[in-house]
Amino acid sequence: MGDQSSLNVLFKPHPKQAEFIRAVFSNQFRALMYGGAAGGGKTFVSMAILILLAKLYPGSRWFVVRESLPTLKRTSIPSFHKLCPKKFIKSYNQTDQIVTFTNGSQLIFFPENYNQDKNLTRFDGLEANGFLIEEGQEIQEKTFNKCKLRAGRNIIPGLEEQPKPIILITCNPSNNWTKKNFHEAAKEGILKEDQFYLRATMADNPSLPEDYLEGLENLDEITRAIFVDGDWDVIDVDRPFLYAFDKRKTIKKGLEVDWSESINLSFDFNVDPITCIAGQTFEEKGEERTRILKEFRLRNSDIYQLCEAIRVEFGDAYFIVTGDASGANRNAITRGALNYYQIIKDELDLSKNQFLVPSVNPSIKNSRVLCNAILANHPNFEVDSSCLFLTEDLETVEATETGDINKTKDAHKSHLLDCFRYYVWTFHYNFIRFK
């Protein structure tokens, strides 16, 4: 490939990033994975490489793949705009997420959307020179194989030296194809000749700010091993989703309502059962205290009956509402084409200011990290012993190989766990910092 010295215009790489750059431009490898800890500079250097390739090969086309468009907008796209020189951008089509550069090259932010397109037909016909797969632990191996088929299909007219087909991959430790195909293969000395693997730890990145590092102090031991140390060996397929849950520490009898404080409701909307948990989070003697006081799990019922049960339990208390973001969708309808949150507002006589519902649900990966950090390190986080189904979820719901909630093993479980995840995400988001 061409001269990469102009990369210093974009940023100055630290030694581990420089090693990855050299591997990319050695022309020896078709697929290169930079994997391990969070905060190792994987995304930054990979995005910089794509920008440089776009500059070196006018008319080339490069794709950045993540699991969904909201995730791209929250992560990869802001990283690109921080990094790319503005004078190199000719236009940015936000509808199709296509950046066109001044030399005719393009960078396309392309969501995998596997849940909506399990055959990945969206990838068929793509004419690409290369791909960046961001967070490979969230992406299907089938997607990686599709990228291998489409990389190099964009032939640039009149260009004597075409760019080599290439796939860059960033990831955190996981038990999916990234571990098998790259980490374990490299460890056993059987990595394919056209593949490259570089392991990252947080210590490799000297530019991480102190406040970010301080924000990791509350991480539990297992999450620290994965996301700080980049340790692949702590992954355990059969572990519980909330591996930091200690029933003796968290479950308490006879927690009482403080009627001077608001009651927080967190909903998950299922056809059967429909669920909600009620709790309180407030300051007491200079310390934050959270009590999950009550669970609601109604079979053969609807949102109206659930609201009635809440009114009976708590009367005219002041409520703050959060929960499943899909409850605000127009396709989540009941009587009179109202969405769930409109019904809750009317049935409990609430104002708009009493709703803290996210526009999109938190990723399972991030909410899992946060919930485990809370359970491991929050000194005043308690769940009333009457919350039997919630306790069962916290204790027994398992994770899949990729870290998702395993909903196939026991279909009736995890509904209260979802309420719990939404509650923690809304009221304890700042307990640790996400990057």
CA distances from 380 to 21, 86, 284, 430 (A): 47, 48, 10, 16
State the Cα–Cα distance between residues 234 and 318, nearest whole angstrom: 44
User: What SS3 class is residue 352?
Assistant: helix
Going 241 to 244 to 245 to 246, the CA torsion angle's sign is: positive
Residues 322/356, Cβ–Cβ less than 8 Å? yes
pLDDT at 401: 74
Element (H, E) at 225: helix 221-227
Strand partners, 188: none
- The reported pLDDT for the residue numbered 203 is 73
Give the pLDDT score at 327: 81
Residue that has been written with the tokens 């995304």 in this structure: 43
Residue with tokens 């605000």: 328
Locate 125 and state its tokens.
């016909």
Q: Residue 184: which residues within 8 A CB-CB, separation 6 or more? A: none
Q: Is the peptide bond before 85 cis (omega within 30 degrees of 0)?
A: no
Give the other-Cβ count within 10 Å of 318's Cβ. 12
List of long-range contacts for 409-416, beta carbons under 8 Å, 24+ apart: 412/273, 415/268, 415/270, 415/273, 415/275, 415/297, 416/268, 416/275, 416/277, 416/295, 416/297, 416/387, 416/389, 416/390, 416/392
> Residue 97: what pLDDT?
95
Q: Beta-carbon neighbour count of residue 125 at 10 Å?
A: 8
pTM above 0.85, yes or no: no
Ranges in the chain, pLDDT < 70: 1-11, 212-215, 234-238, 329-337, 408-413, 433-435
Other C-beta atoms lying within 10 Å of the C-beta of residue 142:
15
Q: What is residue 390's predicted lDDT score, i.e. its pLDDT?
A: 94
- CA–CA gap between residue 111 and residue 109 (Å, rounded): 7
> How far apart (Å, rounded) are the C-alpha atoms in residues 10 and 56?
14
The C-alpha angle 375, 380, 386, rounded to 5 degrees, equals 75
Rounded CA-CA distance 348/361 in Å is 23
CB-hemisphere CA count at 13 Å for 142? 14
369 dihedral zone (left: phi>0; alpha: psi -120 to 50; beta): alpha
Could you tell me where the beta strands, DSSP code E, fall in 102-243?
106-111, 130-133, 166-171, 195-200
Q: What share of the chain is helix, strand, coil (3-state, %, to 5)?
A: 40, 20, 40
Q: What pLDDT is recorded for position 351? A: 96
Alpha carbon distance 252, 250 (integer Å): 6
By CB neighbour count within 10 A (0-12 exposed, 13-18 middle, 19+ buried), where does 197 fall? buried
In sequence order, the 6+-apart residues with CB closer than 8 A to the CB of 41 are 13, 14, 16, 17, 200, 204, 205, 207
Residue type, 319: F
In what helix (H) or strand (E) does residue 72 lie, and over which residues does it extend? helix 69-74
Count H helices and E strands in the chain, helices first. Answer: 15, 14
